[in-house]
Amino acid sequence: MTISALQKARSTYQPKLPAVFAEGKPYKLIEGEATTCVADQEKIAKLFKATYGAPQLRFETGESTTSDKTINVGVILSGGQAPGGHNVIAGLFDGLKSLNPENKLFGFLNGPGGYIANDYQEITAEFLDNYRNTGGFDIIGSGRTKLETEEHFDQGAENCKKLGINAVVIIGGDDSNTNACLLADYYKKNNVDIQVIGCPKTIDGDLKNEQIEISFGFDTACRVYSELIGNIMRDCNSSKKYWHFTRLMGRSASHIALECALQTQANICLIGEEVREKAQSLNEIVEYMANVIAKRAENGNNFGVALIPEGIVEFIPEVGVLISELNELLHHREDEFNALEDKSTKVAFVKENLSAETSAVYTSLPELIQTQLTNDRDPHGNVQVSLIETEKLMIEMVDKKLKEMKKAGTYVGKFGHQAHFFGYEGRCAAPSNFDADYCYSIGYTASALIGTGKTGYMSSVQNLTKPAIEWTAAGVPITMMMNVERRHGADKPVIQKALVLLDGAPFKHFVSKRDEWAINTDFIYPGPIQYFGPTEVCDQRSVTLELEGK
Ligand code: FBP
């Protein structure tokens, strides 16, 4: 197999570990106080009788408390790709081998579906070596099948039994870790001898809390997008003729857009959580953007960069209502809808069957967006925001608004525009040094949790603004992160999603600067991720992490 010169050089990179694991010394487990959960304590305690209330854990150098009996472990990659997944597996593998060289690691193929179907591959040292420090989840593949019914759990246990597997590591986002928690509780309650450990993954950065400082992949993905945004900024600052409307991934939370705005100082960045808090209508958002464009035009600057988080559509009150009415309609009348022949009859069907007010909102949207809103739902019946071209919606509406302003004499410029969507470009990038180290440490910590017989824990590496040697390795009971939410008409225990906090340091910093960045051309050009060189260039932390750390 031919590999790039960078991949070859990068394969020799030895990811850094927290001091407790770095020197291969024995380590011991320290148990903290019993825990509760973020909300709905009684309900969560009842739902997770076997695992609720477990103590927080951390590892320290000292007389070993780990078992050296042979362990076989299964690993699953779940959901969207995030840079560093291969290093979680590498850390897990190396950690397991350090406990006992006879330990084995099996990868279930293509996500949780492989766990149910017993599709697996043994991960050997030779096989793994091709994947160290690389992006992607292709080592074993990923998938979005949900592991949530007792039949799935029993089938998985049956498959583990055949392979002699005593522990399963689920690398996933909030939903997959919620299911890891259900799985751990189910096995413990039924005396099934399989431990379950979760690892916090998602570029969206919305699986975080006091114990999980950031999900892995966020750092690298944001660096890739910021590099591209910076390049676009230099281009538009050179030709001075386009506004670039750029949509960024993030299914729900706007962390990615916010981080990219902080890294590049874009002229406009919308934040979904603020839109919801202020109940801003689509028209108000369009007015805000048009006013910034008009103001820059007054100074002769008919160019700029606007960042739009893909999840924003669901935060705009009237569009959020439209999407949930649409989800209901297409769920309940799916067959009727699917039988319709072409796009225009589908759009007409939707217009007729929404409530009058919502139908008016739908009708006011550009035709392209009307069609996109009726596209296929995800496996849970929700609209797939990554398929809605909000950047084009905004361009069309802003263009209309600017024409009105021109007529009224309040806009003097020329609106040339380009649309971009950055998402898939960053999800499989070679992990930054931070993600390479962080992921390897998360995997290694997972092996330590397994070696000490724990279940229902998320592997947690903390103190991340400090150099890796000062990081701490910990275990957090997944139940601690749970609350009860209404999902599809039923109360469900779920890990609380971390949205952008409007009183948090990153957002506050952005607010203190955004008016300046809107009018001036204060662009920062971050350039590509650097893997080799001075530490201030290669080991930077995301601005979000730095500001939250302070
Ligand atoms: P996860 O939450 O599973 O990590 O995935 C996040 C994400 O990358 C979102 O940013 C995006 O909306 C979505 O996945 C796209 O999903 P898909 O890969 O199925 O197109």
pLDDT band at 386; cut points 50, 70, 90: confident
Cut 0.75: pTM above it:
yes
Catalytic residues: 204
Rounded mean pLDDT, 441-470 = 97
441/464 Cα distance (integer angstroms): 11
Residues 133-154: what's their mean pLDDT?
A: 95
- CA atoms of 521 and 299, how far apart (whole Å): 11
Q: What is the overall mean pLDDT for the chain?
A: 95
- 379 falls in which pLDDT band (50, 70, 90)? low
Give SS3 for 174: helix
Predicted local confidence at residue 550, as pLDDT:
79
Does 299 have pLDDT greater than 90?
yes
Indicate the pLDDT class of residue 68, thresholds 50, 70 and 90.
confident
Ligand 1 centroid to 80 CA: how many Å?
A: 5
Q: What residues contact residue 53 under an 8 Å CB cut-off, 6+ apart?
A: 34, 35, 36, 45, 477, 479
Using most ligand atoms within 8 A of CB, pick from 199, 249, 254, 439 the residue to mutate for ligand 1. 249
Tell the CATH superfamily of the 219-427+504-543 domain. Answer: Phosphofructokinase domain (3.40.50.460)
Residue nearest to atom 14 of ligand 1 (CA): 80
Is 69-217+431-495's fold the same as 219-427+504-543's? Answer: yes
% the chain with pLDDT above 90: 87
d(CA 410, CA 298): 9
pLDDT at 93: 98
Rg of the chain on CA atoms, in Å: 24
Q: At what angle do helices 343-353 and 317-332 cross, to 10 degrees?
A: 110
- Report the nearest atom of ligand 1 relative to the CA of 78: 3
Strand-by-strand arrangement of the 243-248 sheet = 268-269, 304-309, 243-248, 417-422
Per residue in 498-508, pLDDT (tens digit) is 999 999 999 99
For ligand 1, what atom is nearest to the CA of residue 251? 12
Q: What are the DSSP calls for 16-75, one per residue?
A: ---HHHHT---EEEEE------SS-HHHHHHHTTTTTTPPPEEEEESS-----S--EEEE
Buried b / exposed e over 416-429, threshold 16 CB at 10 Å, is ebbbbbbbeebbbb
Segment 215-234, tens digit of pLDDT: 999 999 999 999 999 999 99
Mean pLDDT of all residues in 174-183: 95
Q: Name residues contacting ligand 1 (CB within 6 A).
A: 79-80, 82, 173, 202-204, 249-251, 310, 385-386, 423, 427
How would residue 12 be classed by pLDDT, with cut points 50, 70 and 90?
very high
**Residue 397 pLDDT class (50, 70, 90 cuts):** very high
In sequence order, what DSSP letters do the residues of 330-350 get, joined into one string? HHHTHHHHHH--SHHHHHHHH
Torsion of CA 398, 403, 406, 408, to 10 degrees: -100
Q: List strand residue ranges (DSSP E) for 265-424, in order.
A: 268-269, 304-309, 417-422
The domain segmentation of the chain, as residue ranges, is 69-217+431-495, 219-427+504-543
**Cα atoms found within 13 Å of the Cα of residue 212, Cβ hemisphere only:** 32
| Average pLDDT for 391-420 | 96
What is the 3-state secondary structure of 70-104?
A: CCEEEEEEECCCCCCHHHHHHHHHHHHHHHCCCCE
Rounded mean pLDDT of 379-407? 89
Ligand 1 centre to CA of 340 (Å) is 29
Structure-derived torsion over alpha carbons of residues 218, 224, 228, 229, reported in degrees to the nearest 10: 30
pLDDT of the residue at 330: 86
CA dist list (Å): 21 to 94, 387, 472:
11, 43, 10
Mean pLDDT of 406-416: 97
- Of 176-185, 257-266, 334-343, the poorest mean pLDDT is in 334-343
Mean pLDDT of 310-324: 92
pLDDT in tens, 102-140: 999 999 999 999 999 999 999 999 999 999 999 999 999
pLDDT score at 380: 65
| CB environment 39-74: b (16+ within 10 A), e (fewer) | ebeeebeebbebbbbbebbbbeeeeebbeeeebbbb
Q: Match domain 69-217+431-495 to its CATH number in 3.40.50.450, 3.40.50.170, 3.40.50.300, 3.40.50.720.
A: 3.40.50.450
Q: How far is the CA of 206 from the centre of ligand 1 (A)?
A: 12
Residue 509 vs residue 376, higher pLDDT: 509
Instruction: Work out which ligand 1 atom sits closest to the CA atom of 384.
Output: 12
